[in-house]
Amino acid sequence: MTTEYTDIEKTPVGKKMAGPVEWLDDRLGLAGAGKKLMPVRKVFPEHWSFMLGEIALWSFIVLLATGVYLTFWFQPSMAETVYNGPYKPLNGLEMSQAYSSTLDISFGVRGGLLMRQVHHWAAMLFVAAMVVHMLRVFFTGAYRKPREVNWLIGLGLLTLGLVEGFAGYSLPDDLLSGTGLRFVDGLIRSIPLVGSYLEFFIFGGEFPGNEIIPRLYMAHILLIPALLLGLIGAHMLLLVYQKHTQWPGPGRTEKNVVGYPLLPVYAAKAGGFFFVVFGFTALMGAMIQINPIWAYGPYNPSEVTAGSQPDWYMGFVEGAVRVMPNWELTFLNYTWSLNVFIPGVLLMGVLFTALGAWPFVESWITGDKREHHLLERPRNAPVRTAFGVAGMTMYAVFWIGGGNDIIATKFHLSLNAITWFVRIGWIVLPVIAFIVTKRICIGLQRADANRILHGYETGIIERTPDGSYSERHAPLPVANQFVLTSHDRLPVLEAPAEEDANGVAAPGSRGARLRAKARSFYYDGAVDKPTTHDVEHAAEHLGDHDGHPVPLGEDFQGVSETGIPRSHL
Amino acid sequence: MRKLSTRRRHPLAGLVVLLLGLVVAGGLYAAFAPRAATAEEASARDVEAGRQLFLIGCASCHGKNAEGITTKSGGNYGPSLIGVGAAAVDFQVGTGRMPMANAGPQAPRKDPEYTAEETKQLAAYVASLAPGPSVPESEYTDYKAATTEEIREGGEFFRTNCTACHNSVGAGGALPNGRYAPSLKGVSAKHIYEAMLTGPQQMPLFSDEVITPEDKRNVIAYIKSVQDQPTPGIAGGSVGPVSEGMFTFLIGMGGLVGVAVWIGAHGARVKKRSS
């Protein structure tokens, strides 16, 4: 088998492009710069889960493009105007220029509604992709040394994405976005002591004032996108500098990266994926209606509509606020709105602090200060995986709280019952999820160990001469065995010395004791991979079983329940 | 004048004055008193037919004389219907809410059990018990006659008074303890009017003094005009951010992850020739 390769200069396109490219290279030195700055020969490993962050990146590009289009017509002003446009039910109504111009974009500007809808869907996808990407990084332990800083940058991107999305949600000044703005106004005010001052500072007076939309507009189209772009650049540069993590496999080590080079393979793959993402946002924008602002009417602080919700990424805060008991107290002549502060401000603070601290907490618990470039399968870190699923469960329970009215009407449930479900569930369900996930991980670890020691199930049932039936097992291919055993062996847990040799309490022993406890919790129940001794012993055991009626052959990899040959590679 | 002064001591003079006084008082009362229970002339036959229907279909909960039946704990099986008027009956029976199929937090809308004629007879019977709001005149339910200006005004009333429960396009919303504000889709103008006028179930009552009949008509016109808007694409825009989030994950993320899996499953293609 030979590979035919044509040099790019000799292709028809190459021949034509040679002149202009040389002209540019002579003047700009692109070839040298490209080699130095652009990682054109950088190798990236291949896996579908490595493309989740790309979805976020590409939807961000779509956001930039559609956003620029929208700025041509949007008027970020709260000045009153009378609407006289094609949408009759609002004709002659007084409204802000922001709302009126958004109506014009929707009904008057060619392609305006499509652009608005594509922009909104891309925004929803942007945050969703960031969250899913972050979950992938979390569950595979990709944030471990040396990537803690990039994890923090990613967290910063997610936070900015939420703020950016919220600002965009508030700009059209319709009844829904005004209600969302009022919600955030409530969050700001609930901050003890300084809340009301902060509100006046941000809104330029009492809510809603005349300033907030121009200010949010500046943040939405300049400040936050600039920060996002900068952080995305840093995120990518670090990715290139530190190289991408890869799944364990034959030939893959902590010191190499196995995959394809950026040019031409990944440029084509990623470039193609961009068009797929663009296509998805365009299709969704064209076919699924999103945020029909004309249906809500202009914002008026005395009005509200049933079914008012934030976009999905703020739904968990909405849910927590909805189910919170009405705790409020007056102390030192100040009102302490714990009913809003705890589920709103504190919850977000705790979530983002926990996410930011996790890599450092984990490395403190495990004492692992080595560099990691090979990913960990979620099952091989049962407690981490269980924590992740518990966190997702809590998030989902709060989501239910945020959509409680929709759930109540669509499924004919009592609103109060849902409230109590969330109030109890946000504590109980994550604990259950933790236990269940951990057990599943351990079960999967046992199954892995089984496959290594006893081979895989071939799907062939054999009957012995004395009439008993058993399924024939065959040894797993070595490459598969390698993948299943490439993770670290569990550390030996030792209680820390409480006293030194002279019977004096060891310094820092309290911290050490705490750490020892955390360590034993972290590794509790995890199944260690089989030792070489185990494997050899099992091989002997398997060897005893000769006398199979039919030889399986070299290529055999088992059959499915329906008799179709299976492949393990 | 002489005639009057000579006859004022006539034996029947007192009777004449009394009659005159009664006629004047009665006439004034008829002119200024609240509108009688029935706008349309409800014949005695309708009332009697309605009473017969009532005794069969309604009396088990509302009592034989529509006086309501209280439970031992002080609640009721069915409330008193004295004074609720023809409009309430027309709404509850006409939208199928009454008779209730089973006890629950709220009577749901369903196909009506009674024909229009029977509904009218039931309404006539209940209206005959005591004065109450009547079925609206057709001029107040003719929402198609509303001008753009009136529709806009109706929208202002709607957003101020109704959307908090019924949603900005009348899709409905949740209320505590399993109760809800029902969807306004496909509800006739007459029934929306009657709901405002009588405040059925959880709904507050908007009397003609609070929202005039003309404004009620405008509110209906706004609801109808919003619901008549074309709703292009999937979802139709009335379901809000919760379903948008669901579409984001099901279609957007689901589809794109599917594509990512597809791309990831295909390595780089190099032209290969077996030698």
| Confidence band for A567, pLDDT divided at 50, 70 and 90 | low
Whether residue B222 lies inside any domain: the answer is yes
Of B248, B251, B263, B270, which to mutate for an interface test with A (greatest number of A Cβ within 10 Å)?
A: B248
Same domain membership, residue B146 and residue B106: no
CB contact under 8 A, B257 and A91: no
Q: How confident is the model at residue B39 (pLDDT cuts 50, 70, 90)?
A: very low
Distance in Å, alpha carbon of B204 to nearest chain A alpha carbon: 16
Stretch A550-569: mean pLDDT: 68
> For residue A38, what pLDDT band results from cuts at 50, 70 and 90?
low
Does residue B38 lie within any of the structural domains? no
Per-residue confidence band for B275, with pLDDT thresholds at 50, 70 and 90:
very low
Provide the pLDDT confidence category of residue A361 given band limits of 50, 70 and 90: very high
Query: What topology does CATH give the domain A39-321?
Result: Cytochrome Bc1 Complex; Chain C (1.20.810)
Smallest Cβ–Cβ distance between B264 and the set A51, A90, A286 belongs to A51
Task: Give the closest of B160, B241, B251 to A302, CB-based.
Answer: B160
DSSP per residue, A317-376:
HHHHHHHS----EEETTEEE-HHHIIIIIIHHHHHHHHHHHHHHHHHHHH---S---B--
Inter-chain CB proximity B235 and A288 less than 8 Å: yes
Of B68, B99, B129, the last residue of a domain is B129
Report the chain A residue with the minimal C-alpha distance to residue B268.
Answer: A265
Cis peptide before A214 (omega within 30 of 0): no
Q: Mean pLDDT for chain B?
A: 85
pLDDT tens per residue, range A303-334:
999 888 899 999 999 999 999 998 988 888 88
Residue of chain A whose alpha carbon sits nearest to that of B108: A412
Q: How many residues can be counted in chain A? A: 569
- Strand A43-44 vs strand A469-474: parallel, antiparallel, or unpaired? unpaired
Quick: pLDDT tens for A406-459: 999 889 899 999 999 999 999 999 999 999 999 999 999 999 998 888 888 888
Strands B69-70 and A469-474, bridge-based pairing: unpaired
Answer whether A406 sits within 8 Å of B171, measured CB to CB. no
A52 interaction partners in chain B (CB closer than 8 Å): 257, 260
- My answer on whether B108 and B52 are in the same domain is yes
> What is the reported pLDDT for B239?
60
pLDDT digits (tens, 9 = 90+) for B102-115: 888 888 899 999 99
User: Quick one: average pLDDT of A288-316?
Assistant: 90
What is the per-residue pLDDT for A464?
A: 81
* Within-domain flag for B26: no
pLDDT of residue B191: 93
Of B151, B237, B265, the CB nearest to A295: B237
- pLDDT surpasses 90 at A262: no
Q: Do A306 and B174 touch (CB under 8 A)?
A: yes
A280, A289, A292 ranked by CB distance to B252: nearest: A280
Write the CB contacts of A316 (distance below 8 Å, at least 6 apart in sequence): A347, A395, A398, A399, A402
Domains of chain A, by residue range, sit at 39-321, 438-543
Chain A partners within 8 Å of B220 (Cβ) = none
Residue B21 lies in a domain: no
Most confident of A60-74, A285-299, B202-216: A60-74
Given an 8 Å threshold on Cβ–Cβ distance, is A2 in contact with B163?
A: no
Distance (Å) from the alpha carbon of B224 to chain A's nearest alpha carbon: 10
* pLDDT higher at B67 or B33: B67
* pLDDT recorded at residue B271: 47
The residue out of B129, B158, B192 marking a domain boundary is: B129
The answer to whether residue B80 is domain-embedded is yes
Domain end position, chosen among B227, B244, B260: B227
Which one of A135, A398, A414, A421 would you mutate to disrupt binding with B, by most B Cβ within 10 Å of its Cβ?
A: A414
**A150-A154-A155 Cα angle (round to 5):** 120
Residue of B113, B30, B122, B118 whose CA lies nearest to B85: B122
Residues of A in contact with B262 (CB under 8 A): 48
Task: Mark whether B106 and B154 lie in a shared domain.
Answer: no
A2 with B151: Cβ contact below 8 A: no
pLDDT at B150 over 80: yes
Decide if pLDDT at B144 tops 90: no
Instruction: Spell out which residues of chain A touch residue B148, defining contact as CB-CB under 8 Å.
Output: 88, 91-92
Complex ipTM: 0.85
A260 strand-pairing partners: A44
pLDDT for position A4: 64
Out of B177, B231, B264, the one facing A416 most closely (by C-beta) is B177
Q: Which residue in chain A is spatially nearest to B169 when comparing CA positions?
A: A295
Give chain A positions within 8 Å (CB) of B180. Answer: 408-409
Residue B146 domain boundaries: 138-227
∠ CA A521-A523-A527, rounded to 5°: 140
pLDDT interval class at A5 (50, 70, 90): low
Asked if residue B151 is part of any domain, the answer here is yes
pLDDT, averaged across chain A? 89
Nearest in space to B267 (alpha carbons), one of A266, A179, A28, A69: A266
The number of folded domains in chain B is 2
Interatomic CA distance for residues B275 and B269, integer angstroms: 18
Number of cross-chain residue pairs from A and B with Cβ atoms under 8 Å apart: 212
pLDDT at position A542 over 80: no
Our CA angle for B252, A261, B271, nearest 5°, is 95
Going by pLDDT thresholds of 50, 70 and 90, the confidence category of residue A1 is very low
Identify the closest residue of chain B to A264 by CA–CA distance: B268
Give tens-digit pLDDT for B55-80.
998 998 898 888 888 888 878 888 89
Residue B155 and residue A284: Cβ atoms within 8 Å?
no
Residues of A whose CB is below 8 A from B257: 48, 52, 55, 132
For the domain that residue B175 is a member of, what is the CATH number? 1.10.760.10
DSSP conformation letters of B212-249: -HHHHHHHHHHHHHHHTS---SBSTT-S-HHHHHHHII
Whether B234 shows a pLDDT value over 80: the answer reads: no
Residues of chain B contacting residue A300, judged by C-beta atoms under 8 Å apart: 159-160
Residue with tokens 């509904």: B119
Percent of chain A with pLDDT over 90: 57
Residue B198 within a domain: yes
Asked if the model's pLDDT at residue A569 lies above 60, the reply is: no
pLDDT, tens digit, for every residue of A229-260?
A: 999 999 999 998 889 999 998 889 888 888 88
Give the list of residues 6+ apart from residue A202 with CB closer than 8 angstroms, or none. Answer: A188, A212, A215
Residue with the two structure tokens 């847990």: A493
Closest approach of chain B CAs to the CA of A535, in angstroms?
31
